[in-house]
Amino acid sequence: MATTTNHADQQCQQHDVVVVMIPLPAQGHLHASFELARRLSSSAHNIPVYYVSTAAHVRQAQSRARGWDPLETPNLNFLDFPVSFDVPPPNPDASIKFPSQLVPAFNSSLQLRDPVADLVRKLASMARKVVVIHDFLTSWVVQDVPKIPNTECYCLHTVSAFLVFSYIWDAAKPPVPPEAEVVLKQLPSLEGCNSPELEEFAQKQIHARIYGSGNIFSTSRAVEGLYLDLLEKMNRNKDFKHWALGPFNPVELEIPMAVDRRHYSLKWLDKQPPSSVIFVSFGSTTSLSEDEIKELAIGLEQSRQRFIWVLRDADKGDIFSGDVRKCQLPEGYEMRVSERGLVIRDWAPQLEILGHPSTGGFMSHCGWNSCMESISMGVPIAAWPMHSDQPRNALLITEGLKIGIPVREWERRNEVVPAETVEKVVRTLMASPEGEEMKQRAAELKEAVMLSVMEGGVQVNNKVNRFES
């Protein structure tokens, strides 16, 4: 079992407030929790943070963290518990795209309940306040925490505030402003979003849910102020707050001075004209079938637009174990498109690609981390949702914020998107007056987000000072 180090114990004794972070073991959730943990533990706030997960997933979070230097985050402590679980491969031909291969890893996190309670008790005996920030889907793990003195709980939502409010609107149809109603009336069905295995796991979390001090959202009021305000209005407990602490990713990127530190995709982008490249990536939880890969490949080629395509399978529950499928492209494809296309088959620096001046569009599954990164970099989206929260995020992007174009309707999710559709969408986004308007709105939203996190901005007064009081 993992134990705290003497150094971590000394930190706890020297600070009034400590934070315990409990992420769900899936990349998007690990990443958001890690970035918030880095921010809280930075020199600006100087709060000891304990990031707790299974051993494999602590390692995963660390290995994929953007520009993370352990020496620069001495207040960030990792507790990794050696938990075993099955690691089935992704199924690219599944009728529901939800990555059911991750569910054994989700279930393994249930074993953290007792270790987390023991940790919080220990920290609470040394610090004035222990703040526990848990993923909504780790509610089962933290259900004992409210019984421990000197503790305070917050639920971290790595999904959009729009999604959370959409569930309320679906069930009760409360009155909303016209600009929200026109979007909410177009809500896609939840059918096909999740697998039965995930639904069973989620029910455990719902039944164990604790009502702490508030919800933390990985979002910005510049993006979702309307829906955060609507959530506030639905509060029965006026002491319960909704905090927009995002975007967790940087809104301005530092370019490494050393050329050898830059990913090869960025060097390729350096040679392309401004705003000319569409970045194609479906995140860490989507596996495309062979037919989908073939049609997407042909569509990108026929569009005659420059592109970077991250072509890789979805993560397994443990990304460090076993082999991964190498997705096949049409014969000679990479050679034919080599002058204007780059195919990446491993992990790619998504934020840096989106932030590069040559990137002008993003074909995305619309996971919320990807949406926020694209918004932060001012890049419009060709929205191609696959599962989970993605269909409703796509609706917010295309109809709410109007910074994107749908690739397909959710009702047609079981159909293979033909190359002709891919070609048309890419050309519309990258080389049409309609696409230019989306780029302009995306650029304006980027500016609003940047202003919101500056000193005196609307976000600043909503930040971590709440924990320090």
Active site residues: 29, 135
List beta partners, residue 134: 22, 155
Residue positions counted in the chain: 469
Packing angle between helix 27-41 and helix 55-63, nearest 10 degrees?
70
Q: Give the separation between CA 79 and CA 201, rounded to whole angstroms.
A: 23
Q: 3-state class of 201 per DSSP?
A: helix
Measure Cα distances from 440 to 159, 247, 324, 353, 433 in Å.
Answer: 25, 20, 39, 19, 11
Quick count: other Cβ atoms within 10 Å of Cβ 340? 16
8 Å CB contact between 153 and 146: yes
Say how far apart CA 71 and CA 40 lie, in whole Å.
Answer: 15
Transcribe 208-251 into DSSP letters. T----SEEEESS-HHHHHHHHHHHHHT-SSTT-EEEE----S-S
Tokens of 187: 């809500």
Q: 3-state DSSP call for residue 391?
A: helix
Say if residues 195 and 172 touch (Cβ distance below 8 Å).
no
Residues contacting residue 384 through CB under 8 Å, at least 6 positions apart: 282, 363, 364, 365, 366, 394, 406, 407, 408, 417
404: β partners: 381
Inter-residue contact 116 to 4 (CB < 8 Å) = no
Which ranges of 288-389 does DSSP label H, i.e. alpha helix? 290-303, 333-336, 350-355, 368-377
- Residue 181 identity (one-letter amino acid): E
Q: List Cβ neighbours of 291 (8 Å cut-off, separation of 6 or more).
A: 416
The one-letter amino acid code at 221 reads: R
Which two tokens mark 194? 């999740």
Closest to 275 measured CA to CA, from 438, 398, 400, 407: 438
CA distance 356 to 364: 17
Give the residue carrying structure tokens 């991250």.
310
